[in-house]
Amino acid sequence: MGEFALIGQITARLPQGAGVALGPGDDAAVIAAPDGRTVVTTDMLIEGRHFRRDWSSARDVGRKAAAQNLADVAAMGARPTAVTVALGAPGDLEAAWVLELADGVRAECGDVGASVIGGDTVGSEAIVVAVTALGDLEGRDPVPRSGARAGDVVALCGRLGWSEAGLQLLLEGQHVPEEVVQAHRSPQVPYSAGPQAADLGATAMCDVSDGLLADLGHIAEASSVQIGVDVSALEVADPVREAARLLQADPISWVLTGGEDNALVATFPAGTVLPDAWRVIGGVETGSGVLVDSTSYAGRAGYDHFS
């Protein structure tokens, strides 16, 4: 199948929202920016490092690639509006796999009403999926990592430890509990919580892609503060506990350092009334770094892209 024919089949399967003034088919797309500002982020998945085809379907890979970027937009307090997708692939990759990948991107974007507005394909030795996502702040101030202040509370929305539990099961050749295995293949992101946190006055925010402690470390460093985490406030879901029991592992370590769940963690001024989906897990103090139950964490804080 020729490149342009394949691109045409992909884009025909993808949604085009009302904010797209000119969609795929030209050298570039045109999208509306009602706020006058646009949030932009990009991320990639590489076969063998971020996913394996014997573990994940093409649809799972598409959903995960889109989710990683859409979550970053939400973590700025914005509503995702559009994405572009670039694909590097071996020449012998089946066209059906690529079309299923497109279905996964379409499904994840459909969850937030975002449009796929273009992309590119190129030959490569391994499959590489690079996604760029755009978002609309809708009049809100962006929520950076650098705004946390001493006295703020730290709150979390979403799941932790699920993807890491699924990864560890797959590494051991196990596929149950299925819920956590699927969580590794395709995360469940609380997208609406990002703009909600911004409306509530969040002072700093980040999505948990590298691990809770690692990502809180990004906030602590950017804000020049110390963040404390209360382990007793963290939830360990039953499927995560079951996976830990099967592998004789510590589920708390997965919750603290496991990545790719794309939960949202934010700091709020003390006294902020938070919706039920948000739970307070710690606080912000003067100092530096991240403490767990008032103590430095002995293990790794999370995923290191270059280790």
Q: Using CA atoms, how far apart are residues 278 and 65, in angstroms rounded to an integer? A: 25
pLDDT value at position 305?
61
List the strands of the sheet with 39-46, edge to edge.
Answer: 39-46, 128-136, 79-89, 115-123
Find out whether 35 is annotated in a ligand binding site. no
Helix (H) or strand (E) segment spanning residue 134? strand 128-136
Question: Is 37 annotated as belonging to a binding site?
Answer: no
pLDDT per position in the chain (307 positions), as tens? 344 344 445 555 544 555 788 888 788 989 888 899 999 999 999 999 999 999 999 999 999 999 999 999 999 999 999 999 999 999 999 999 999 999 999 999 999 999 999 999 999 999 999 999 999 999 999 999 999 999 999 999 999 999 999 999 999 999 999 999 999 999 999 999 999 999 999 999 999 999 999 999 999 999 999 999 999 999 999 999 999 999 999 999 999 999 999 999 999 999 999 999 999 999 999 999 999 999 999 888 886 765 6
Distances in Å between the Cα of 204 and the Cα atoms of 43, 57, 251 are 21, 35, 27
Hey, is 258 helix, strand or coil? Answer: coil
Q: Was 207 annotated as part of a binding site?
A: yes
Give 303: exposed, middle or buried? Use CB within 10 Å, 0-12, 13-18, 19+: middle
Domains observed in the chain: 3-136 (3.30.1330.10), 153-296 (3.90.650.10)
Q: State the pLDDT at residue 9.
A: 54
210 labelled binding-site residue: yes
Q: Is 267 annotated as a binding residue?
A: no
Tokens coding 164:
């890491």
pLDDT value at position 1?
Answer: 37
242 is in an annotated binding site: no
Distances (CA, A) of 195 to 110, 114, 204, 213, 287: 17, 15, 12, 23, 29
Residue 184, annotated as binding a ligand: no
Using CA atoms, how far apart are residues 97 and 209, in angstroms rounded to an integer? 26
Q: What is the pLDDT of residue 24?
A: 82
Q: What is the pLDDT of residue 10?
A: 54
**257 marked ligand binding residue:** no
**Helix 178-185 vs helix 238-247: angle between axes, to the nearest 10 degrees?**
100
Rounded to an integer, what distance in angstroms lies between the CA atom of residue 239 and that of residue 248?
A: 14
The pTM (predicted TM-score) of the whole model is: 0.92
Q: What is the CA radius of gyration of the chain?
A: 20
41 is in an annotated binding site: yes
pLDDT for the residue numbered 5: 43
Give the helix/strand (H/E) hosting 118.
strand 115-123
Predicted local confidence at residue 26, as pLDDT? 84
Task: Give residue 234's Cα distance to chain centre.
Answer: 19
Tell me which residue of 100, 147, 130 sits closest to 268, measured CA to CA. 147
- Cα 238 to Cα 245: distance, rounded to the nearest angstrom: 10
Query: 27 labelled as ligand-binding?
Result: yes
Distance CA 227, CA 47 (A): 35
What is the predicted pLDDT for the residue at 153?
98
